[in-house]
Amino acid sequence: MSQVARFGSALRWPGWLLLLTAVLWTGWRRADPAMLTQGRPPAPQVGFQAPDFTLTTLQGDTLRLSDLRGRAVILNFWASWCPPCKAEMPAMQRVYADYADQGLTIVAVNFTANDPRPNVEAFVARYGLTFPIPLDEGGQVFAAYRVYSLPTTFFVGPDGVIRDIVVGGPMAEALLRTRAESLLAEVK
């Protein structure tokens, strides 16, 4: 007996009914690929465009996220009083030093609305951070990214779409490296 015939004879009518319902439902719920991406405004979620923002960095420059299209971006939200942020920043700096020339940018947005600037400057000097530190003085970027816990890190592809989110920390250095390499594979 063939496999198909064996399948047919084994399956009783309730089984066939269940299977038929599933097949018909699958056919009926076919989706226009565009439909799944329509109505997707920028949102802090995997698969969506990262919400754009413009902030002034600690170094005094203006940084607009959308200007980084074409580069792999690690978007980190932190504060100087947050212990896991302190723990992961040295790894972040090492990863930046290793991959910046390959197309990786780390943007570490500081929660300046609740973190006095002198503390931020002391923190950056202490850890020798060389990547941009935008200052969110009004807290509007933290709100737009729904940051409930520090640190929170978004991994953004060269097309500006969020690929992964890690809430909490400290992140292991290998995690940063694996995600950086995966994003950089899209840049090349």
The verdict on 30 binding another protein (CB under 8 A) reads yes
Strands (E), 36-187: 54-56, 62-64, 72-78, 104-110, 152-156, 162-167
Least Å distance, CB 107 to another protein, is 19
The sign of the dihedral angle between the CA atoms of 125, 128, 132, 134 is: negative
Q: What distance in Å separates the CA atoms of residue 112 and residue 56, rounded to the nearest whole number? A: 11
The verdict on 10 binding another protein (CB under 8 A) reads yes
The verdict on 187 binding another protein (CB under 8 A) reads no
Q: Which residue's CB is nearer to another protein, number 122 or number 172? A: 172
Q: Which residue's CB is nearer to another protein, number 112 or number 152? A: 152
Q: What distance in Å separates the CA atoms of residue 49 and residue 26, rounded to the nearest whole number? A: 28
The verdict on 188 binding another protein (CB under 8 A) reads no
Angle at 111 between CA 107 and CA 112, to 5 degrees: 110
Using CB under 8 A, list all residues that contact another protein: 7, 10-12, 15, 18-19, 21-23, 25-26, 28-33, 35-36, 39-43, 45-48, 91, 146, 148-149, 164, 166-168, 171-175, 177-178, 181
